[in-house]
A and B are shown apart, each in its own frame.
Chain A
Amino acid sequence: MSLLSEASITGLALGAVYGVIALGFVLIYKSSGVLNMAQGSLVLVGSFLCYSLGVQLGLPFPLAIVLTLVLSLAFGFLIERVLLRPLVGEEVLPVIMVTFALLIILENSVMAIYGPEHHLYPQYLPVEPIRFAGMTLGWVYILALAAAALLIPSLTIFYKRHRIGIAMRATADDQQVAQSLGIKVEQVYGSAWAISCLTASVGGIVLGTIVGVYFGMSGIGMKVFPALIVGGMDSIVGSIVGGLMVGLLENIAGVYLDPVLAGIKDVSPYIILLLVIIFKPFGLFGLKRIERI
């Protein structure tokens, strides 16, 4: 198997994880206009929670995954109720700072509780890799792509068809009109946060399976922002496409540029981010906003 195709497959899998995490960010942004900087640390919390349930408490691993997802739904509601509800209608900076503070609290709590060690999930996927068209594929990468392939259509359908999804779109369009039509805006915000925590946990569990559960995952979680900017901040499709592109470019840069410039792999998403902001600020699928005085 060639170096390029291997790098592309792992890059796409990583990119799918970025996309899944970015999806949660887009949901919150679209329904409430809140920019959730803590998305990366929610990933960290999700993966460590699953580790606690599945390894430290010794539950069967599928049960641990399901429990993690349920708990993260509840956690999302809680965050919205405690931190974001008092700041409805504030400017950009206070809201962003609250989510940054949330990031600091979550990351440091994880650090204080679990320490800096590297943990591993039990081997819950088959060890034997799949051979497909001359390529060898680890099950983890299939898992990553499957998670993305499952979440995107279901969330899109939820957004288009389900009552709360439609309420979310209405709220995103105009909060006051939505409220006067009888939509419970608080419920909409709460569900957006809950779903966002859910997708972050899915991303966290998949990421934990690929690279192991450790504190440095928060740095991986930060790379959703390049994905968001490339795809456009308010587009579900864009978040996935952006995630895939950033993951792919990052891994290809890792293969071809790392021998020349050591460590360029980790910083390349941010170089992409800067270039996109300078030349195409609203990304590939983002809505271009026109301002009036």
Chain B
Amino acid sequence: MLPNGVLADTYEEDKALIRTKAQWGILIGAIVFFYVIPPSVLSGSWISVMNRWGITIIAALGLQLLTGYAGQISIGHSAFIAVGAYTSAILTTRLGFPIWASLPLSALSAGMIGIIFGLPSLRVKGFYLIMSTLAAQFIIMYIVTHIGLTGVQSGISAPRPSLGNINFDTDRSFYLITITMLIICTYMAVNISRSKPGRAFVAIRDNDLAAEVMGISLLRYKLLAFFIGCFFAGIAGALTAHWIGHVSPERFSLLQSLWFLGYIIVGGMGNIAGVFFGATLIIGLTEWLSLGLQNISMSYPHAALWVAPFVNILFAVIIILFLIFEPKGLAHRWHITKANYRLWPFAY
């Protein structure tokens, strides 16, 4: 909903993503804020959290388009991230590609693998599709851990990126790449969601038979949804590889895939902004808990063993509470707040 008094005289104005001067101000302010403030203010461990936050959102945007918009539930998302990560690491380390070429190539390869595992979606949906993405998770991770090219269990190293004379070899400098990619990917996701494919995805999600009757090609758009969702996952995977400098299989477990579904559920299904809300809330709370437990473990060493289980339990409890009490997610709350602000002092 737009603020009062905002009218469009031309189609171009009506189609524009940013409609008012205030929106432009907030957008530019936010971009400047995210480029300047975190690298100069945050301490070492929190800047690493910011990198994880940015990369997570990129991957979750893909899952939002695939699951939230197109309704194709995937619980194998972290396997597709693994495809991107390993492709980029193999291309740069073993074949000597520059990182800037391997990034799009790894995204493309993840998208292609996504199409292959999306093929069952043409025949089945719901639980059966979930099962085929579960199979994708295990089969992809089996292949990844059993071919020599990937360094099997010990993993493979990936170089840190550089541009001319600038080396992005610290968390602080890599953050600039993360945030740039995050902005590009968000722009892409927002525009995909409001263009023809995005509308087709929503139609398929709401009723795929009706969508087909209306002339939407299920073959094309379901596979496109898988391609786009896994393309984002591939970007996130390549970024993870070059951020950490090393790719190993335990990073891409089934549990991680569930975390990605959690981000979009807590944020709100079928909403790009929801990805940001969900990831920020969950990553913030779980990082806070794990920092707290690490502090306790200084005096009580046994607590260090509890960090991983407790963080996972906290995550699961957040999911349950949201599903029971706010199934539409944080984005829904945000829309209500925004509408109230714009209409005030009137009720509607």
Contacts and interface: CB of A to CB of B under 8 A. Distances in A.
A115 interface: yes
A253 B134 CA distance: 20
Given A108-B309, A225-B131, A270-B138, A277 B317 contact: no
A274 B130 contact: no
A86 interface: yes
Interface string B317-333: 10110011001000000
B314 to A, nearest CB: 10
B146 A263 contact: yes
Nearest to A92: B126
Interface stretch (A5-13, A69-77, A95-103, A144-152): A95-103
Contact of B313 (A108, A263, A273): A108
Contacts of A100: 75, 258, 261, 316, 319
Contact of B128 (A98, A267, A271, A277): A277
Given A96-B130, A104-B258, A115 B305 contact: yes
A115 B75 CA distance: 26
A293 interface: yes
Interface residues of B, number: 47
A281 B323 contact: no
A104 B146 CA distance: 27
Interface string B2-30: 00000000000000000000000000000
Contacts of A133: none
A287 interface: no
Interface string A269-293: 0110110011001000000000111
B213 interface: yes
B235 interface: no
B82 interface: no
B202 to A, nearest CB: 15
A229 B131 contact: yes
A: interface residue count bin:
35 or more
B265 A278 contact: no
Given A94-B323, A112-B309, A274 B139 contact: yes
Interface string B171-205: 00000000000000000000000000000000000
A292 B265 CA distance: 28
Interface in B249-273: 254-255, 258, 261-262, 265, 269
A3 interface: no
Contact of B124 (A35, A264, A277): A277
B309 A109 contact: yes
Contacts of B313: 104-105, 108-109, 112
B315 interface: yes
B238 interface: no
B299 to A, nearest CB: 19
Contacts of B296: none
Contacts of A94: 265, 323, 327
Contacts of B213: 293
Given A87-B324, A270-B139, A262 B207 contact: no
Interface in A107-122: 107-109, 111-112, 115
Given A93-B67, A100-B261, 8 more contacts: A90-B327, A100-B258, A104-B312, A104-B316, A108-B309, A109-B309, A267-B142, A270-B135
Interface of B: 67, 73, 75, 119-120, 123-124, 126-128, 130-132, 134-136, 138-139, 142, 145-146, 207, 209-210, 213, 254-255, 258, 261-262, 265, 269, 305-306, 308-310, 312-313, 315-317, 319-320, 323-324, 327
Lowest 7 CB-CB distances: which A-B pairs, in order?
A: A108-B309, A101-B316, A104-B316, A112-B309, A267-B142, A270-B135, A274-B135
8 contacts: A35-B127, A93-B73, A108-B313, A109-B309, A261-B146, A273-B134, A277-B124, A281-B124
